[in-house]
Structures are given as C-alpha cells and as structure tokens.
C-alpha cells in the first residue's frame, strides 16, 4: 500500500526506532509512548486490522504474537505487559495497517475502556 504509514516505515522510507525484525514482522517504538515501554509490532504484509483476518492471512498475525513474546523477553517485561490491537474507528484505530501495541514497564491502569 503506497499511502500506508506503516508500509513506509517497514520499507525504511520513514525512520523508526527498530526493536525487532524478521522475514514476516517488523517492530519499533511508538512515537508517542503511553507507557515506559510502548512498542508496535506489525506484519510486513499489509492487512487493515484484526477485522480483516481470515484463513488466508492469519499466519501473519500469529507471527506477530510470537514476536510479541520474544520482544517482551528482550525488553525485560517479566512483571507483565498488555497487548492491544485497535480495529476500526470506534476503537480509535488511526493507522489502517494491523499492529499490536506492547505496553509495559509500569503498573498499567486496571480498566481497558
């Protein structure tokens, strides 16, 4: 997707603070962190959101969640962390490329909404 911000970040056209990458996944620090550790994990494949997942592309999401676990260990989030994926306007999704937020490094608020 030529006009997708995260596709441009994955392609290196927009700089990012990379924390992890492999053949399927790219992960980088959120530009406006909402916790001491705030990382975005995205599939290299352009998928709009969790709402667009089906049997044809769900392996990309699985690879992202495997990366989440690896990154949480790498970042020392042994006390726990939260994974969030906003899908659609009601959830406040601002970038329409599937991504998983990793939030941690502090005691997170109890409520999720």
Q: CA 4, 22, 12, 30: dihedral to nearest 10 degrees?
A: 70
Q: What, of Zn ion, ligand 5GP, none, does residue 1 touch, CB below 5 to 8 Å by kind? A: Zn ion
Binds Zn ion by CB under 5 A, chosen from 97, 100, 103, 104: 97
Which CB atom, from 78 or from 94, has the smaller least distance to ligand 5GP?
94
Q: What, of ligand 5GP, Zn ion, none, does residue 92 touch, CB below 5 to 8 Å by kind? A: ligand 5GP
Q: At 20, list the tokens.
A: 């992890």
Measured distance CA(80)–CA(105) in Å, rounded: 8
Which CB atom, from 97 or from 101, has the smaller least distance to Zn ion?
97
Measured distance CA(18)–CA(41) in Å, rounded: 10
Residues recognised as catalytic? 99
């Amino acid at each position: 997707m030529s006009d997708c911000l995260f596709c441009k970040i994955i392609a290196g056209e927009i700089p990012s603070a990379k924390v992890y990458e492999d053949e399927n996944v790219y992960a980088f620090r959120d530009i406006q962190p909402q916790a001491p550790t705030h990382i975005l994990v995205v599939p290299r494949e352009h998928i709009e959101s969790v709402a667009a997942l089906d049997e044809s592309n769900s392996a990309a999401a699985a690879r992202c969640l495997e990366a989440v676990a690896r990154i949480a260990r790498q970042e020392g989030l042994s006390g726990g962390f939260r994974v969030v994926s906003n899908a659609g306007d009601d959830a406040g999704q601002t970038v329409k490329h599937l991504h998983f937020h990793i939030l941690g490094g502090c005691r997170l608020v109890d409520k999720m909404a």
